[in-house]
Amino acid sequence: MTQESISNLVKGTIFLFVTTLGIVGNIIVFVNFVCSLWRGAQKKSVHLILIHLAFANTIILLSKGLLRAITAFGLRNFLDDIGCKIVVYLERVARDFSICTSTLLTVVQAITISPRGSVCWRFKPKTPRKILPVFLFFWILSSSSSINLLHYITSSRKNMSEAAKTNNYCSFQPESQEIKWILLILMAIHSVMFQGIMGGASGYMLFLLHKHHQRVLYLQSSHLHKSLPEMRAAQSVLLLMFCFLFFYWTDYIFSFFSNSFLQNNSMMLNVQEFLTIGYAFLSPFVLIHREGNLDSCKPWRRQRH
C-alpha cells in the first residue's frame, strides 16, 4: 500500500469511529429527554431544546462525518447532482440550526436561574410548548439562509473548472465576487448576532453562578441546596457553550489560513474537517458526563418517584 492509501485508511477509520460514536451519544441524549417529556416528569424547556440540538448534531454527523469517512475509504463520485444538493444543504441547515439552538439553550438556562421577581424571570417559558414557535422560526431561518447553496452545488462527477472547490464527493462552483461578498456579510451578521446573544447570556450566567458560590460559602440552607440542580444544569450549559465557541472559532481560523495561505496543506485540511464535526460529536458526552446516568427510559426509574 502506498503512503497515501495508508493515510486515507487511517483518516477514514477515525472519521467512521468518531461519527458512529457521536451518533450513538446524540441518540442516547435524544431518547432520554424524549422519555422525560413523554413521562411528564420534570417537563423542562431545556429538555426540549436539547432534543432539537441532538437531532441537529445527528444530521451534521450523518451528512458530514459519514460521507467524509466513505470518501476517505476511496468511494468517491457516488452522489449525483440531486444527492449532493440534499446532503450539503442538510449539513449547512443543521449547522445553522445548531448555532440558533445553542443560543436559545443559553438564554433559557440564564432565565431559569435568574432570581425570582427579576426582569429576566418574567420571560421564563412556563411549559416547553411555549418555545415551539421559536424552533419553527429557527428552522425557517436556517433553511432560507442556505437556499443559495442549491444553485452552486453539483456532483463531482462533472468536469470542474480550476476555480471550483471540491470536497471529494460534491463540487462548489465559483460564484461572482458580488454574490460572494453579500453571502459572507449575511453569514457574518448571522454568526455575530447569535454568538453575541450567546456570549451575553453566558456572561450573565457566570455572574449568577459567582453570586451563588459566594452565598454558599457563608450560608448552608435548605433553600440553597434545592437550587443546586439548576446551578449544575447552568454549569453544564456553560461547558457546552465553551465547547461550541472553541470548535467554531478554531474551525474558522483553520479555514481562513487553509484558504488563504495553506491551500495545499493536507494536514490543515484534515484538521479542519474534524473541527466541523467536533461539537456535534463532543456535546452529547458533555451532557452524559454532567447529567450522570441518563436512564429516564428505564422502567425501574419510574418506580423511584
pLDDT tens digit string along 42-88? 567 888 999 999 999 999 999 888 888 888 887 766 777 888 888 88
Give, as one character, the DSSP assignment of residue 172: E
33 vs 281: CA distance, rounded Å: 18
176 vs 181: CA distance, rounded Å: 9
Q: First vs last Cα of the chain: how many Å apart?
A: 59
Mean pLDDT across the stretch 286-293? 74
pLDDT tens digit string along 261-273? 655 566 777 788 8
Instruction: Identify the structural domains of the chain with CATH numbers, from first to last.
Output: 3-303 (1.20.1070.10)
Residues belonging to the chain: 305
298 vs 159: CA distance, rounded Å: 54
Q: Which H/E stretch holds residue 154?
A: strand 153-155
Tell me the pTM.
0.82
Tell which residue, 137, 256, 114, has the closest CA to residue 194: 137
Choice between 191 and 241, residue whose per-residue pLDDT is larger:
241
184 vs 189: CA distance, rounded Å: 9
